[in-house]
Structure 1
């Protein structure tokens, strides 16, 4: 798929996003998803970490290695990362109630970021949590739990959320089958001690560990380079 074809597909799929929470939504297990790259080799690792929401403990995880030849194009990260993330999700034995994606959802130029794509593909309620803003916002108050609207054009596409007193905010947006109030509250609940939710932290740690292993075992091509 070319970048132009990918953009056309995003525009076609964007109306499929549901920004409402199911009436019976009572999540117990949240899965964090993350991807890391081995330089510019095209090799990547994708991780899923399932966290018990009540205790904050990791109860299941999976890691897969993969490759991508889709170019690095802002707004099209799903086309580099989604196939490996789906494989990692299939590898966990625990069925998560909600996915917390290290990437944006509706906070996206075409209102179809990685979190939306992941949610529409799996049918699981999904939240996007970004480290950087994809829109304009006023700084939230310094207290934990404070938030301000994230605005793109005339649309509220998410929230800048302060998860700990005085730390930089993170950016929460709807992925699929969840509303913004519920997504914000759940991300705050998962962010027990640190800026990032425990789901993202656990998946990121898995990726970092896997990268260390991959760097110590380069492919034959990388050895030649």
Structure 2
């Protein structure tokens, strides 16, 4: 099937994940923090109406000012299955990205990359389909365990797979004494650089500015689309 198409069932989705996962590039460092553009993507749902809205917000990486923003609205066409969430979101996220006229640069997803039970979260999936460097910054560690990082901004601890002990990401403290975020490589960026970008983007708050802007925009767009 076409790699951009929505799979007809769970088995097909897992097979497609297995195929696409082999295309993740892990040997590139990625762009330097504070250079070029950086784009946040996020989604919001109205489950009663099966509506999903995606937002893409391009920031100037040096100043963190908004360069461009775009949204897209679609129908949820794939059921909720743990580990396969990207298939619910990818079509609408791609549509939002395609509406941008600016170069997205590095894409930051509110979710996971390699820190995913099948090593292929939304950030990796999106990176492979678009060819863009991507990383995931999540609010919780999903199924992985870690030691608490130190209390200072920039302190981190490895995020481990409990089954084989592989490091799949990092719990990163972006603000002193505040709960960490969970950073993982998506595509075409190193883990060290993904963490450096996250700290650059989270200068004042726990979440990166990319995520804050994209979350706000997609919530507004969902309200407009549903009239709620």
Q: Is the 8 A contact 1:150 1:159 kept in 2?
A: yes
* 1:138 paired residue among 137, 143, 147: 147
Matched with 2:171 is 160
Aligned residues: 216
Q: Distance in 2 between matches of 1:142 and 1:39?
A: 38
* 1:100 paired residue among 101, 108, 127: 108
Query: Aligned Cα RMSD in Å?
Result: 1.3
Matched with 1:179 is 190
* 2:53 paired residue among 34, 38, 45: 45
Q: Is the 8 A contact 2:29 2:193 kept in 1?
A: no
- Structure 1 stretch displaced more, 37-46 or 57-66: 37-46
Q: Deviations over 1:21-78 (max 9, x none)?
A: 257x344110000000013321011000001111111111001111112101111111
Moved over 2 A (4+): 20-23
Q: CA deviation at 1:211?
A: 2.1
* 1:7 paired residue among 14, 18, 23: 14
* 2:62 paired residue among 54, 64, 70: 54
Q: Please report the TM-score for the alignment, with normalisation by the length of structure 2.
A: 0.91
Q: Please report the TM-score for the alignment, with normalisation by the length of structure 1.
A: 0.92
Give the number of the structure whose residues are more often helix, by fraction: 1
Q: Is the 8 A contact 1:19 1:180 kept in 2?
A: no
Q: Is the 8 A contact 1:148 1:161 kept in 2?
A: yes
Q: CA deviation at 1:214?
A: 2.6
Q: Distance in 2 between matches of 1:32 and 1:54?
A: 15
Q: Distance in 1 between matches of 2:175 and 2:66?
A: 21
Q: Distance in 1 between matches of 2:97 and 2:106?
A: 12
Q: Distance in 1 between matches of 2:49 and 2:10?
A: 19
Q: Distance in 1 between matches of 2:168 and 2:215?
A: 25
Q: CA deviation at 1:186?
A: 0.6
Matched with 1:76 is 84
Q: CA deviation at 1:167?
A: 0.8
* 2:117 paired residue among 106, 109, 114: 109
